[in-house]
Chain A
Amino acid sequence: MPAMSLTDLQRRVGGLNQLPSLPAILFPVLNQLNGNTDNIDLQKTVQLVSNDSALSTQVLHMANSPLFGLRQRVSTLRAAALTLGIYRLRDIVTSCCLMQISPTRKGEWNATSFWEHSLACALISRNLARRLNYVEPERAYLAGLVHDLGILVNMLLMPREFSQVFKIAAESARPLRDVELEQLGISHEITGDLLATQWHLFDYLAEVMRRHHEVENATIEPVLTAIVNIADLLCRTSSLGYGYAEYIAVTLQDEPAWKILSAESPRLHNLDMVCFTLEIESYVKEVRALVSVLFRL
């Protein structure tokens, strides 16, 4: 496969028109929920989501998942919003909306594993951000959720080439990014960045999408990018990777992301990473069950 330059890629996507569009409902919802928390009209948000019955069902199902920690089941969107709070509701609505963008083409790559990885990465990023006392913990879930959207773009824009990349990576148990660079000359961070521009995503999300494998080059939110990098590595060694077992050995302490977090948060040294990893393993079953149900709804 010939290597592809960014110009080739831009030409191929026809001036970016072929990139997936941001699900229509997400824009007003994010606008609603990203404002000053004092001014948020929860009722208006609930109304917006209620207009889409499929989305409402998914949001309710996700809200009741043990992964989101509700003590008792909720049966209405309003109850979910009141019990979960603004940020959790935003996280859930965003997750459900984004999951609707999944290539239908059958191939080596499958959307289920992709969303399992993204959802797990979101949950772990949120968990790690809290443990490290990161100043904007509510950003971590969204950052983890969107970090790999470039993979989805690759699958939508060049399904044949990307399926081949995925096949090679899975058969050789190598990291997907290495094979992307080797076979395509570009990797999913580049296409993720194109998508972030197209969608006018917040700078910090665009940076995570662009730099989550090169955290040392992050300048806007290096700590957030480092959190997502560590969460991504933990997912990929805890059977929540891209749908195949990568044969990688990861010494977190040697990772640039670890060094960033270590300098920023003394709490990192109080974290027993064996316990934290076992906690992640406990997500596996729930994440798989949730994604499987959401795809059926």
Chain B
Amino acid sequence: MSSNLTVPGNVATNPTSYQIRDLIYTIAGIFHTDSRLAFLEDRCGRRMKELNIPSLRQYHELLTRSASRTTEMHLLLNEITVGETCFFRTQAQLAALQRLVLPSLAAAKEKVSYKHLRLWSAGCSTGEEPYTLAIILMEEANRFLRGFTFEIIATDLNDRSLLRAQEGVYGEHALRHVPAEILRKYFEPVPDSTGFRVRNEVRQNVKFSRLNLLDDARMVFVKSLDVIFCCNVLIYFDGASKQRVIQHFHNNLLPNSYLFLGHAESLFGVHEDFRLVHFPGAMAYIKTPVKR
């Protein structure tokens, strides 16, 4: 798979960059186009400086041949998958979830004895998205979600981001869209700092874990989902990897459940068993049961 990814005629500043690019693609499905190679070299450079490795070729050997290659790949992935996010980031999408999707899911489950909702934030970065989802569900707990239990599964490839997410402490920038009342209700000030910590009642609804979306063996265990949020993650994946991940999402969602992607992300030409649904200012996909 790796050798044919290199575009003939394009010469990288360092040919080993292509080999590292292909290695990352094979392991994590993240593909760096030629225009992103400089970024990749920069992130490798950070690790090389830390380890005092003088050349990219030697670093490639560390990633492929040393006993610590798995650990080092984790650390390199931490460098290249840091996402900028904040609470209540995509407001139209969240309004659609709160005002249209959740009431419709709740109504469909009204006759079921076990009233439970399971949401997955796939590519949760430092935790802002899954905590936002938990807060929205908690806000509705005394309205149309009365009698429901719920859980938010939050996964990311970057274990450094996950540590920060579990810590649950955020500064002004991450909290800039949080309404004052929500801040007071679901966050507590951190003594001797300007930061706020997500209250335990919210944290206990969110389960964080490290997950590579291309890890087929583990992806099959994230089952029976009502909603998946996977925003601005698949943009780093090439067509084949994207298809693989979306097929997993399709398998993991319950029938007529929802997949939210980033604003400009489309499943056109990727997967046919989802139907696009338009909400005010936002779009999502509904899983169509497979015809047999």
Contacts and interface: CB of A to CB of B under 8 A. Distances in A.
B280 interface: yes
Contact of B280 (A246, A254, A273, A275): A246
Contacts of A273: 266, 268, 276
Interface in A246-297: 246-254, 272-275, 277-278
Given A247-B100, A249-B96, A251-B286, A237 B278 contact: yes
A273 B264 CA distance: 11
B99 A247 contact: yes
Size category of the B interface is 20 to 34
B99 A234 contact: no
Contacts of B72: none
B266 A275 contact: yes
Interface residues of A, number: 23
Contact of B276 (A173, A236, A238, A252): A252
Contact of A239 (B101, B266, B280, B283): B280
Contacts of B279: 237, 248-250
Given A272-B268, A274-B265, A275-B266, A247 B276 contact: no
B224 interface: no
A99 interface: no
Contacts of A239: 280-281
A137 B277 CA distance: 26
B200 interface: no
A26 interface: no
A247 B278 CA distance: 10
B253 to A, nearest CB: 16
B104 interface: yes
Contacts, number: 59
A245 B280 contact: yes
Contact of B283 (A173, A248, A277): A277
Q: Residue among A247, A248, A278 with the most chain B CB within 10 A? A: A247
Contacts of B286: 251
Contacts of A218: none
Given A274-B265, A274-B283, A253 B276 contact: yes
Given A247-B100, A249-B104, A277 B275 contact: no
A55 interface: no
Contacts of B265: 274
A81 to B, nearest CB: 37
Residue in A246, A250, A274 whose Cβ sees the most chain B Cβ within 10 Å: A274
7 contacts: A233-B278, A237-B279, A237-B280, A238-B281, A239-B280, A253-B275, A254-B275
Interface of A: 173, 233-234, 236-239, 245-254, 272-275, 277-278
Q: Which 7 A-B pairs have the closest CB atoms?
A: A274-B266, A272-B268, A237-B278, A250-B278, A245-B280, A251-B277, A249-B100
